Amino acid sequence: MPRNAFYAQSGGVTAVINASAAGVIETARKHRKHIGKVYAGRNGIIGALTEDLIDTSKESPAAIRQLRETPGGAFGSARYKLKSIEKNRREYERLVEVFKAHDIGYFFLNGGNDSADTCLKVSQLAEKTGYPLTAVHVPKTVDNDLPITDCCPGFGSVAKYVATSMLEAGFDVESMAKTSTKVFIMEVMGRHAGWITAAMGLAQSKPGTAPHILLFPEIPFDEEAFLAAVKRNVDQYGYCAVGVSEGLHDKDGKFLAESGLKDAFGHSQLGGVAPMLANLVQSKLKLKQHWAVADYLQRAARHIASKADLEQSYAVGRAAVELAVKGMNSVMPTIVRTSSKPYRWKIGVAKLSDVANVERKMPRDFITADGFHITQKCRNYLQPLIAGEAYPPFENGLPKYVRLKNVPVRKKTEQKTKEK
Amino acid sequence: MPRNAFYAQSGGVTAVINASAAGVIETARKHRKHIGKVYAGRNGIIGALTEDLIDTSKESPAAIRQLRETPGGAFGSARYKLKSIEKNRREYERLVEVFKAHDIGYFFLNGGNDSADTCLKVSQLAEKTGYPLTAVHVPKTVDNDLPITDCCPGFGSVAKYVATSMLEAGFDVESMAKTSTKVFIMEVMGRHAGWITAAMGLAQSKPGTAPHILLFPEIPFDEEAFLAAVKRNVDQYGYCAVGVSEGLHDKDGKFLAESGLKDAFGHSQLGGVAPMLANLVQSKLKLKQHWAVADYLQRAARHIASKADLEQSYAVGRAAVELAVKGMNSVMPTIVRTSSKPYRWKIGVAKLSDVANVERKMPRDFITADGFHITQKCRNYLQPLIAGEAYPPFENGLPKYVRLKNVPVRKKTEQKTKEK
């Protein structure tokens, strides 16, 4: 007898997480012998705890197909990490209660590091509570910091966005530098790992073009060396474009974005390492500067998604279902690179216990000796991940993104856990 | 006998100003009877003053064609405004000296408000100095604030970029709002006119979706009303996306971005009304916020240029040459809208004396009564301007933009004016 599946989006969303959702749902629809309906959690795993389930069978094949073209999380995502069973047994009992009420036999969590840990804990339900469940993690994170997999679905698209943006802004600044801005600083995501910052480096096609300097969270900020490098580039090329990670910190591990700035009320200013550095450049070097903070624009930019990334995002969704129906519990499909030139990849499998809570930072040999740029080795790794365009359809000048009906499943349990 | 032409890019560059350059150069090449060579000023009009001319005849037809697909200013632009002939006769004498040495009979300046004024002054050279010259202004400004013309080449592309970005970020924030960011603030350009801010409004397809609030430079900032509107939207829809102009100011005309913030050295923080507002939301409403400042990304985003804008940018370049060879001096080609649905436009002509130094702000009836959004009338105006996609070619995952050879013309005069 087929059992139902539960699918939830988890953590920060991406331009292509919905492609993974499409991969899960469309593949499940092909495995009617094993999988009945796919219920999605409204706002991620919180939807499971509150029994707020969405019946994806109410969505047309066309709507599910359009998920490939739509950024954000179509069912709502959540930042919510389960504690261990020992520490919060009640939460797991509630999960089992809801799963049992809706005959959930398959659990798919679509997320990054924290989510992999949550998925691992859910995968232990069968063993620890006797409730039979197959849990598979669907990898997704713009941070590209999951271990084992060659890259993380979601990263390639943000990489393509930031590299394109840096390339374009570089053309702008270069053409104005004679009488206007000399230093441009662009801040991107990546609190602990510099992958997104590194991707900006792909924009540099020859020495002297943007970006001239990259500042990684892996390399403690050295103010003197930074200012000297900025000055050197402005002297030599007339301008200097800097890409910086939001997670840039000093040698004591203190985030730059958290230090110093106070608002009119005396509160520390929130975020913004780019304006911080711009101010430094202005006050120490007396050079005109501009800065950009892409923030959510970068991870929502479906209009400039990477085709490779989109295909991989779909593929891990499909593979997760295929693994689950084979009875593989507590695993995660991975991307295995079989060749860089030409780029070839296939799907592999990792044990969740090897994935959860492991953070993959940039290898030191992906960063140049001076700490300010990427090496050729890094380029070889990154380049294929941004390859190919996959434009969404447009209507009246804007991308045409889908909003699902998100029909709720009738509740069957008495609500025991309050909404988080 | 044909005479040579001088072309210069002026002021802030755009995603499509090079399309106007292509329009000028390709059209001049078709008018060999009137126009010899097109010399471009390196770094705008400064290139004329320093006799730093670029011989565009050294560029292949393919390279000139690629200008349509390349953002920034291919010859370098400059922020440089000529004083009146009465106030700085030496500068005009220098211009005439350089023009005479290179037999420049046609002058094309590609810029916005300030540039139109400079072009007007140059157009008076013949009358005031006896040097025969035909000067035509080629309109360009992301600010969309030139009078007479229905819209300004360069605006449609930045409008498409900011509307797309707001749409995408809105999908992101909406899907995370349950447990994460409730208020998202995106800052765009427009120091005095709110056209770009208004364009973000196109992203809202139905009430309750992003953007919920727009803050225009035309409407003095009312902190209490703003915070109440944010709270109302968060209460009703679960989140609130705000689009704000960098030029937002209070009722005394003071820019918000200039007030309050101090860095660690006690300097006023530079720019950033978005972080300012985000801080306000955080401290007064205790709501989690995120903010983005697109800065140069918005005006360099050739990858998401508007097809309508691209075509108009090319058309004004072509028209400028056609007007010049007809002997029309001191004019500017304009965009005349003949129909909104379906969108139809043609080229018109304006006298530079009617254009220079006139700034067109948003009409009050383009903004809703509460001051926080755009009206249907505004939508009807804006919508056609972002219509159509015009993707650049891509190579290895990134847009393939052209860098010209920019071969200098041999100098013929003794350098009298020092480089500015």
Provide the ipTM: 0.96
Predicted local distance difference test score (pLDDT) of residue B419 = 46
CB contact under 8 A, B172 and A389: no
Q: Tell me what pLDDT residue A254 has.
A: 85
* CB atoms closer than 10 angstroms to residue B57: 15
**DSSP SS3 for B272:** coil
Contact between residue A68 and residue A34 where contact means Cβ atoms under 8 Å apart: no
Written as six digits, the tokens of A419 are 């909404």
**Dihedral over Cα of A186, A187, A189, A195: its sign:** positive
Cα B403 from chain centroid?
21
Answer yes or no: do B297 and A169 touch at CB < 8 A: yes
- Residue A400 identity: K
Q: Do B275 and A276 touch (CB under 8 A)?
A: no
pLDDT of residue A413: 94
CA distance B268 to B275: 14
Cα separations (Å) of A387 from A164, A194, A215, A311, B315? Answer: 12, 20, 24, 11, 33
Closest among A71, A47, A95 to A408, alpha carbons compared:
A47
By CB neighbour count within 10 A (0-12 exposed, 13-18 middle, 19+ buried), where does A33 fall?
Answer: exposed
**Which tokens belong to A274?**
């780019």
* Whether A284 contacts A292, CB under 8 Å: no
- Yes or no: say if B360 and B193 are a contact pair by the CB < 8 Å rule: yes
- The Cα B138–Cα B150 span in angstroms is 14
- pLDDT score for B264: 45
Mean pLDDT, chain B, integer: 94
Angle between helices A307-325 and A155-176 (to 10 degrees): 170
pLDDT for residue A272 = 87
Would you state the pLDDT for residue B202? Answer: 98
Best of B168, B180, B262 to disrupt the A interface by mutation (most A CBs within 10 Å)? Answer: B168
pLDDT over 70 at B332, yes or no? yes
Catalytic residue (choose from A55, A103, A114, A143) = A143
Exposed (0-12), middle (13-18) or buried (19+): which is B285, by Cβ within 10 Å? middle
How many Å lie between the alpha carbon of B2 and the closest alpha carbon of chain A?
30
In tens, the pLDDT along A143-176 reads: 999 999 999 999 999 999 999 999 999 999 999 9
pLDDT over 90 percentage in chain A: 86
What is the structure's pLDDT at A85?
87
Name the 3-class secondary structure at A408: strand
**How far apart are the C-alpha atoms of A68 and B84, rounded to whole Å?**
58
Q: How far apart are CA A245 and CA A227, in angstroms?
A: 17
Which residues from chain B sit within 8 angstroms of residue A73, using beta carbons?
Answer: 175-176
How far does B178 lie from chain A, in Å, by closest CA? 7
What is the rounded average pLDDT of the residues B290-306? 97
Q: How close A274 gets to chain B, by Cα (Å)?
A: 10
A53 φ/ψ sector (left φ>0, alpha ψ -120 to 50, else beta):
beta
pTM: 0.96
Mean pLDDT of chain A: 94
Expressed in angstroms, the distance from the first to the final Cα of chain B is 34
Q: What is the pLDDT of residue B295?
A: 96
- Predicted confidence (pLDDT) at residue B420 exceeds the cutoff of 50: no
Structure confidence at residue B357 (pLDDT) = 84
B143 has catalytic annotation: yes
Residue B318 is predicted with a pLDDT of: 98
Closest by Cα among A164, A277, A181 to A238 = A181
Q: Is the pLDDT of residue B146 over 70?
A: yes
Q: Determine the pLDDT at residue B83.
A: 87
From CA A321, how far away is CA A135, in angstroms rounded? Answer: 10
Judge whether residue A370 has pLDDT over 80.
yes
Question: Residue A419's pLDDT is what?
Answer: 47
| Structure confidence at residue B265 (pLDDT) | 47
Q: Where are the alpha helices (DSSP H) in B67-187?
A: 89-101, 113-123, 125-129, 155-176
Q: What is the mean pLDDT of residues B310-325?
A: 98
| Among candidates A12, A186, A262 on the partner chain, residue whose Cβ is nearest the Cβ of B262 | A262
Q: Which of A295, A307, A343, A379 to mutate to test the interface with B (most CBs of B within 10 A)?
A: A295
Rounded CA separation A339/A344 (Å)? 5
Give me the pLDDT at residue B415, please: 61
Among residues A247, A255, A270, the alpha carbon closest in space to that of A190 is found at A247
CA-based nearest distance B229→chain A, Å: 22
Give the residue among A385, A352, A403, A391 at the shortest CA–CA distance from A142: A385
Q: Can you state the angle between helices B307-325 and B155-176, rounded to 10 degrees?
A: 170
Please enumerate in sequence order all residues whose Cβ is within 8 A of that of A339, keeping only pairs 6 or more positions apart, or say none. none
Q: What is the mean pLDDT of residues A269-287?
A: 85
pLDDT tens for residues A332-354?
999 999 999 999 999 999 999 99
**pLDDT, tens only, A27-59:** 999 999 999 999 999 999 999 999 999 999 999
Are the beta carbons of B267 and A279 separated by less than 8 Å?
A: yes
**B142 vs B282: which has the higher pLDDT:** B142
CA distance A251 to A249: 7
CA A347 to chain centre: 19
Task: Write the residue in A262, A289, A397 that is nearest to B387 by C-beta.
Answer: A397
Q: What is the pLDDT of residues A291-334, one digit of tens each?
A: 999 999 999 999 999 999 999 999 999 999 999 999 999 999 99
Local structure of A54: helix, strand or coil:
strand
**Residues B173, A72: Cα–Cα separation, whole Å:** 8
What pLDDT score was predicted for residue B266? 52
Q: Around Cβ A309, how many Cβ atoms within 10 Å?
A: 30
Predicted confidence band at B256 (pLDDT cuts at 50, 70, 90)? Answer: confident
- Helix (H) or strand (E) holding A394, with range, is strand A394-395
Return the ∠ at Cα B223 (arms to B220 and B225), rounded to 5°: 90
| Segment B176-224, tens digit of pLDDT | 999 999 999 999 999 889 999 999 999 999 999 999 999 999 999 999 9
In angstroms, the CA B407 to CA B56 distance is 8
Q: Rounded mean pLDDT of B345-365?
A: 95
Cβ atoms within 10 Å, residue A276: 26
